[in-house]
Amino acid sequence: MHGDAAATHHRIWAEIVTGARVKIIFHIGQHKTGSKALQSFLHLHSTALAQRGILYPIEQTLHQTMHAYQISHYRLFALLRHEALHACGQADAARHFWRRQRANCRPYDCLRAMFEAIENERRRISADTIIVSAEDLFDMQTAHQIDLNMECLAAGVKILSGLAQAFQYQPVVVAYVRRQDHLLGAHYVQYVKVGSDPTIEFETFAHAFSPRLDTHRLLACWTAEFGLDAMMVRPYEHATMPGGIVADFFEHALQQAISPDWVMPTPDRESVNATPGRDQVELIRHLHRRRGFCWPLVRRAQILDAMTALNSGVAPENGSTIAAWQSPAQRRRLLLDHAEGNAGIAQHYLHRAETPLFSEALPRDDTSWQPYTGLSAQGIAAVIRQVRGQLLCGCNLKWIAAGALFFLGVVILVEILV
């Protein structure tokens, strides 16, 4: 008996002798904590993981509307949210959600059917560990939403816990949590990038989004159903995970080393999810305010491709961190509001009674911070040149789009200067 066959035989025999339960790892996010990078890596190496007895369920023949749905388990989230909305009596919201998400959930009409398919595949490859990853699970909302529905979250976590018990899985809930000021800034930029109404001002967004920053409350919802022992919480910051989320997940969630011959996925918009700077974000908002003028000739995807690190030589003129949106004093007030909750996370989940959850120092330099004054003539011109350069590289339609963008940029520039 050689290699993989011997390992498979050993796993089956160990499960029979010890009665060990199959472990299911729910990687639930948060949003904006490198989930796409982790999912891209797990998706790319799913075959090699299966040889280690780890199932990362994917369907090669499934054609999703977004690549992110293909590499993650967004479908699990969508099925769960649909059932959770029904469970908490929000039937109209459930019907509306299902009309938009039904196509993404095929061939399943309920979450149990998806679990049964996963279990069948697990048995086929004799895996003893299952990984499902969907950052939308954390608060049962997508990154493109602003509000928080705590009833839906509580119902969803209860349904998921019940299914883990029904299939006799040993659940582990893995959550990477980001400091609230950085989380707010990253979420706002993401909302402008892909949200339904990217014209919303930052202050309006921040007020509506604030309940989703209460990380301690959201984690408590998961703990109430799965138990503290099943929770694995990791601060998402460089000091805690200098090697990135992939290495950290393998070390702490899987307790395995990454094989040296496993390559990282080729960078793309999904796996990198790069963040544009504030000038670029403001241009997108201006474009959407005037979307009847030349939209959708110029699409957000084209603009973002031209502005992110995936395009060499293009860097945001203004920063893409929360420092571009809030002053140090505003950020300190925000973090003070969540200080008690963060201390509770450190104590209960990381067993740190004295050490803070996040090691990064609070922002202190108020004097050198300057508020954003809006798109300048120079800023608009620089962004337009970057985007036009990206578009002028192919078919005639791109030339038309480039011309439309240039013309619209001139209009915006005149409006701002006047």
Domains in the chain, please, with CATH?
A: 21-263 (3.40.50), 278-319+375-417 (no CATH)
Nearest residue to 14 (alpha-carbon basis) of 126, 159, 116: 126
Q: Torsion angle, CA of 310/314/316/320, rounded to 10 degrees?
A: 10
- Residue 236 and residue 178 in contact, taking contact as beta carbons nearer than 8 Å: yes
Residue 398 is predicted with a pLDDT of 53
3-class SS letters over the chain: CCHHHHHHHHHHHHHHHHCCCEEEEEECCCCCCCHHHHHHHHHHCHHHHHHCCEECCCCCCCCCCCHHHHHCCHHHHHHHHHHHHHHCCCHHHHHHHHHHHHHHHCCCCCHHHHHHHHHHHHHHHCCCEEEEECHHHCCCCCCCCCCCCHHHHHHHHHHHHHHHHHCCEEEEEEEEECCHHHHHHHHHHHHHHHCCCCCCCHHHHHHHHHHHHCHHHHHHHHHHHHCHHHEEEEECCCCCCCCCHHHHHHHHHHCCCCCCCCCCCCCCHHHHCCCCCHHHHHHHHHHHHCHHHHCCCCCHHHHHHHHCCCCCCCCCCCCCCHHHCCCHHHHHHHHHHCHHHHHHHHHHHCCCCCCCCCCCCCCCCCCCCCCCCCCCHHHHHHHHHHHHHHHCCCCHHHHHHHHHHHHHHHHHHHHHHC
**Residues 88, 158: Cα–Cα separation, whole Å:** 11
| Tokens describing residue 345 | 């996370």
**Residues 210, 228: Cα–Cα separation, whole Å:** 25
Residue 315 is predicted with a pLDDT of 40
| Tokens describing residue 148 | 């928080």
Residue appearing with tokens 């309920």: 110
At 52, give phi and psi (nearest 5°).
Answer: -95, 5
Residue 370 is predicted with a pLDDT of 87
Could you state, in chain order, the average pLDDT of each consecutive group of 10 residues for the chain (418 residues)? 48 49 96 94 96 91 69 96 97 96 93 97 97 98 90 98 98 98 92 81 93 98 98 96 96 96 78 68 74 50 53 43 90 97 97 91 89 78 66 52 58 51
Helices 74-87, 150-166: axis angle to 10 degrees equals 110
At 212, give phi and psi (nearest 5°).
Answer: -80, -5
**Residues 119, 333: Cα–Cα separation, whole Å:** 47
| Tokens describing residue 204 | 């309006």
Residue 123 is predicted with a pLDDT of 97
Residue type, 260: P
Query: Which residues neighbour 236 within 8 Å (Cβ) at sequence distance 6 or greater?
Result: 30, 33, 34, 176, 177, 178, 245
Residue 284 is predicted with a pLDDT of 77
Whole-prediction pTM: 0.86
Q: Torsion angle, CA of 293/388/190/184, rounded to 10 degrees?
A: -100
**Residues 314, 320: Cα–Cα separation, whole Å:** 13
Helices 202-209, 180-194: axis angle to 10 degrees equals 120
